[in-house]
Structure 1
């Protein structure tokens, strides 16, 4: 199980970080222009959750 999270952390976390940053910039631009941000907010939340979950599982697996 630990190897699975190592692979996710190595290959998918950079992708999640890029998605997070791009959606954050898109939300900031849309808020400035007073547009709807529903889709970007969902993607931002999912990418942030994946990043935090992966790091927390790596910390839990390491401490065991």
Structure 2
């Protein structure tokens, strides 16, 4: 994710390219990429959902 916490992964072009090469979608996630999931979880659409682990990772979990 492109956040201040992960700045070391994207603060230089070389580091960003290396990080992106390890992500199947080939781009760093943005905080806004969580918006849909947050909206869903905060809505009645998720009222019967319990105990789930949602991975928002651009596909990196597929390569682990």
Same fold by TM (over 0.5)? no
Larger helix proportion, structure 1 or 2? Answer: 1
Higher RCO (CA 8 Å, separation ≥ 6 residues): 1
TM normalised by structure 2 equals 0.35
